Structure 1
Amino acid sequence: MTAFVLVAGAFTGPYVWRDTAARLTAEGAEVHTVALTGLGKGSAGPGVAVDLETHIGDVLTVIDSVVEKGDGGDIVLVGHDYGIHPALGAADRRARSVARIVHLDSGMPQDGVPALAAVPDQRLREELARGGGEPTGELLPPARDAWPRWGSTAGLSEAALDGLTALAAPQPLATLLQPLRLTGAVTAVPVTGVLCTGNGPGIELVQLMVDLGEPAIQALADPRVTFFELPTGHWPMLSCPTGLAEILTEAAAGGGHRLKPADATEPPPHLRPFLLDVPERPRERAGNTDLYLPDGPGPHPAVVFVHGGPVPAGVRPTPRDWPTLTGYARYVAGHGAAAVTLDHRLHALTDYERAAEDIAAAVERVRADPRVDADRVALWFFSGGGPLAADWLAAPPPWLRCLAANYPILAPLPSWGVADTRFHPVRAIAHAGRLPVVLVRAGREMAEIAVTVEEFLTEAERRGADVEVVDVPEGRHGFETLDRTDSARDAVRRAVEAVLARLTA
């Protein structure tokens, strides 16, 4: 018999597991919900601080009680949200007793890092981090309309949201601020990640991160690590308890999707050849930019290509040398416009401001080049670089003749915790005026990104914005190196033609 030990997240307690636990029990499993001190059970006593170690102790108590029963069942430890921190801390000390750890829409806590680092609300993280001193007191639970700051409420009924609010408890601050301490023993325990795509990235996007080669992510391609997706928000035990129970049962049996590790014998998808056979062209490299000039005298209109991300700082080659960007740049230069590729510092979700500064500086350097027509410039954004388009949509300068975007993220994902950021193209399109926009839409886009594209198009239509959509019906995210089909090639040609037509109009 499998024994599930379920640990709830911030502000919540065992009650959130009621329906999921009932379904697991009906399937023959043994289920234990952990009551964390101050959340699911009373305080630690007068004058006693509740911290992460307190909650680790709560989880250890449940694990030890299951082991003492001696029924020989496998313990599957499930941590949701903040709950993964005490779950991992306990598993590190009882690694031989735990058969599998399930990260339920949670992060990847590391030794020495507090749970605060995983709090999605960026402003709250900064506020608490500035507090200093000995952590005391409690963080009040969200009001009913403030839960989205902690994760997407997609899929929750009104009654479920009412119940979540009514039963929420204050979170002891020290549980978020005390660093997690791991000996490394927990690395021997198999892991399953359950990704809620209504709240954050799905399996395909995680695979792209692995392909980029970031060392910290490579562990996710270990054969002992499996993944599942749920098309719902951050609280699947409330929005789809039956589906979650089925996934947990399959995870306990070792099921799930396994990521493909980086293969040294073949290039990763983003380094495969561009889908068009474009002749080589000379380029001029200066600082973080490469300039490709067309034939003939200038000044020439220019297209500046902005890569996506986040891209880890140590990735080589850097994005301006990736085949997609160099392919577009050579193709554009061959059709009469200067093309620019650049590297910017979008290495983490917190780097959008730095990346925006890099782009603005690069654009001004390009416009200052006498071979470039400073009054005819287009900006072309890709993937996770999409949010960087917001500044240019919100206040288009007169020299910006066109803005293009390929398979872009056009609104912050809920798990980013920055819904009020300036990097929000869906909101910025209201101020775009007559700026032409060319949007290249992948038909097989990841669900979590496709939602932002449709939100953008809906708002653009409502605002009367000038948006031309170039569809790639069977195209995937990054189709230029993944889909060597006639329709994908035609989409590239049509997109370039549309941008150049607006540059020369």
Structure 2
Amino acid sequence: MTVFILVSGVFTGPHVWRDTAARLTAAGADVHAVALTGLGAARSAAPSGISLETHIADVIAAIDAVDPADARDIVLVGHDYGIHPAVGAADRRPQRITRIVHLDAGIPQDGVPPLAAVPDGSLRAQLAARAESAGPDSEVPPPARDDWPRWGSTAGLSDAALDRLTALAAPHPLGTLLQPLRLTGAGASLPTTGVLCTGNGVSIEMVQRLVDFGDPALQALTRPEVTFFELATGHWPMLSCPAELAEVLLKSAAGEGHRLEPAGTSEPPAHLRPFLLDVPERPRDRRGNVDLYFPDDEGPHPAVIFVHGGPVPADARPTPRDWPTLKGYARYTAAEGAVGVTLDHRLHDVSDYERAAADVAAAVELVRQDPRVDADRIALWFFSGGGLLAADWLAATPPWLRCLAASYPVLAPLPNWGLTDSRFHPAAAVAAAAEVPPFVLTRVGRESPEIAATVERFLAAAGGREPGVEVIDVPNGHHAFETLDRTDESREAVRRAMRAVLARLGRQDGRGRSAPDSR
């Protein structure tokens, strides 16, 4: 059977693995939960100068304690911060390791400190400031009971489990988060499993979508030796669903799990499949990072600006403004008598929302200054992860912005994005707004639960206020349904959404007739 070496994350120690370890042991596995120096039971004897290398040495010691003559597989499991010392140790002992399991943890890179993996941007800044003021030998105090979500979703944790997590938490040595990880590459080809906790905001579908964008850094995830599992819980599955986690770890050790498809190996990825409506080709006016599609008749015309989702890797080709869905919507808009606009913005990482927001604002001004555009009749239409960019326009809606729209949007930050306290929180923005501007929301029935929850939070915050939100449901639709679901239901949803947006712009239709202005 297998030897599991379990490495816990920030503020925790071997105690968090108690129930999962018991189930693994009952299944015949040998289990070693590593006591990292300065954490948990190892804290009382902690020396000064604890670094990431200290914790790598702790994991190496656990590996070396397994008799080399023992033919059993060794599976390293790293949770949260624990993946950094786990990967570091595997790099030094690659011949001893059968598989590395990333338990709701990222992919550590050579030269990058663990601090970069802390999801909350303001928290990262606080830790960096603490290092400046108190020095790297200081400690990070454990979170109060209500502050754990800054470090990861607590979804699925019972009150008793959260109380226990809080009571047993220990200060974390700050130096371990600041030291860059050093890798030789010796462990780069080891079999790997990612266990994704969907309650923390990531799913296999999302990872596949990032691979489909063509990011070279993610192509290694499509190796046959790399598998994935999902757990429908938050960031601490060893406390919220220990039995399910143990089962997944056993399957991981056996090489089971979902395998990703390499980009471009089969049919086109979802974002490059044809738009579901047959809209005529139309010339575009390319202005920097902005494309404008004009109606045939003379203007000035109202404009609909389509804002893509993300994050999208910086080197993804084609760029979003050339994706069939965005071009399809823009051409459809032009055919209906308004200017359709697409743009590329710099949402390449969840830390890029400020840059992306600036790009969108600049694109809006460029469009409004065009003499062929009626600057007093503008709509913004957001997609997917771009939905967070709607927050600024909800918080302060200028009179010329006649309508906001969103299709399968993210309307509150996902837990592991680290944006909870940022301005990019549409559900919070609409709750604080004096009135809800005209908003057309296309909601898909087969959305991921995590994204669907953000939509429901938004609708609850907006409920009962005028002008309010018009919801267009696509009961059988998937995220990005315009290229995935070529059904009459989907086509009618796109047409209804377009009619609703253009009605609020008071535009002329494609035959020169005035359409009503609900504003």
TM-score between both structures, scaled by the size of structure 1: 0.97
CA distance in 1, matches of 2:67, 2:375: 72
Q: Which runs of 5+ in 2 are unaligned?
A: 507-516
Q: Following TM superposition, by how much is the alpha carbon of 1:217 offset from its aligned partner in structure 2, in angstroms?
A: 1.2
For residue 116 of structure 2, what is the amino acid of its counterpart? Answer: A
CA distance in 2, matches of 1:8, 1:472: 42
70-79 or 29-38: bigger deviation: 70-79
Post-superposition Cα deviations, 1:479-505, rounded to whole Å, max 9, x if no partner, equal: 111111111111111110111111110
Q: Following TM superposition, by how much is the alpha carbon of 1:58 offset from its aligned partner in structure 2, in angstroms?
A: 0.8
SS in 1 for 2:321: helix
Q: Following TM superposition, by how much is the alpha carbon of 1:46 offset from its aligned partner in structure 2, in angstroms?
A: 7.7
Q: How does 1:46-65 map to 2 (within 5 A)?
A: 48-65=48-65
For residue 219 of structure 2, what is the amino acid of its counterpart? Answer: Q
User: Equivalent residue for 1:456?
Assistant: 458
Post-superposition Cα deviations, 1:347-379, rounded to whole Å, max 9, x if no partner, equal: 111111111111111111111112111111110
User: Equivalent residue for 2:391?
Assistant: 390
463-472 or 327-336: bigger deviation: 463-472
Q: CA RMSD in A?
A: 1.5
CA distance in 2, matches of 1:82, 1:464: 46
For residue 207 of structure 1, what is the amino acid of its counterpart? Answer: Q
Match of 2:439 among 437, 440, 453: 437
| Residues 1:393 and 1:416: Cα distance change in structure 2 (over 3 Å) | same
User: Equivalent residue for 1:295?
Assistant: 296
User: Equivalent residue for 1:467?
Assistant: 469
Q: How does 1:270-419 map to 2 (within 5 A)?
A: 270-419=271-420
For residue 21 of structure 1, what is the amino acid of its counterpart? Answer: A
* Matched-pair contact (CA < 8 Å) for 1:396–1:432: no
* Matched-pair contact (CA < 8 Å) for 2:346–2:355: yes
Q: Following TM superposition, by how much is the alpha carbon of 1:295 offset from its aligned partner in structure 2, in angstroms?
A: 2.0
| Residues 1:16 and 1:302: Cα distance change in structure 2 (over 3 Å) | same
CA distance in 2, matches of 1:464, 1:403: 14
Q: Following TM superposition, by how much is the alpha carbon of 1:138 offset from its aligned partner in structure 2, in angstroms?
A: 0.7
User: Equivalent residue for 1:126?
Assistant: 125
Number of residue pairs matched by the alignment = 504
Post-superposition Cα deviations, 1:154-182, rounded to whole Å, max 9, x if no partner, equal: 11111111111111111111100011111
Q: Following TM superposition, by how much is the alpha carbon of 1:73 offset from its aligned partner in structure 2, in angstroms?
A: 1.1
For residue 59 of structure 2, what is the amino acid of its counterpart? Answer: V
Q: Following TM superposition, by how much is the alpha carbon of 1:296 offset from its aligned partner in structure 2, in angstroms?
A: 1.6
Q: Following TM superposition, by how much is the alpha carbon of 1:463 offset from its aligned partner in structure 2, in angstroms?
A: 5.0
Post-superposition Cα deviations, 1:191-221, rounded to whole Å, max 9, x if no partner, equal: 0000001112100011000000011111111
* Matched-pair contact (CA < 8 Å) for 2:48–2:137: no
SS in 2 for 1:71: coil
Residue 13 (structure 1) aligned with residue 28 (structure 2): no
Post-superposition Cα deviations, 1:360-414, rounded to whole Å, max 9, x if no partner, equal: 1111111111211111111000111000000001111111111000111111111
CA distance in 1, matches of 2:80, 2:26: 25
User: Equivalent residue for 2:270?
Assistant: 269
CA distance in 2, matches of 1:28, 1:462: 57
Q: Following TM superposition, by how much is the alpha carbon of 1:434 offset from its aligned partner in structure 2, in angstroms?
A: 4.3
260-269 or 10-19: bigger deviation: 260-269
For residue 469 of structure 2, what is the amino acid of its counterpart? Answer: V
* Matched-pair contact (CA < 8 Å) for 1:116–1:177: yes
* Matched-pair contact (CA < 8 Å) for 2:40–2:168: no
CA distance in 1, matches of 2:294, 2:28: 68
* Matched-pair contact (CA < 8 Å) for 1:395–1:432: no
Q: How does 1:19-34 map to 2 (within 5 A)?
A: 19-34=19-34
For residue 110 of structure 1, what is the amino acid of its counterpart? Answer: Q
* Matched-pair contact (CA < 8 Å) for 1:346–1:355: yes
For residue 78 of structure 1, what is the amino acid of its counterpart? Answer: V
CA distance in 1, matches of 2:367, 2:467: 27
For residue 484 of structure 2, what is the amino acid of its counterpart? Answer: L
SS in 2 for 1:262: coil
CA distance in 2, matches of 1:308, 1:181: 34
User: Equivalent residue for 2:510?
Assistant: none
User: Equivalent residue for 2:144?
Assistant: 143
* Matched-pair contact (CA < 8 Å) for 1:275–1:489: yes
User: Equivalent residue for 1:197?
Assistant: 198
For residue 82 of structure 2, what is the amino acid of its counterpart? Answer: G
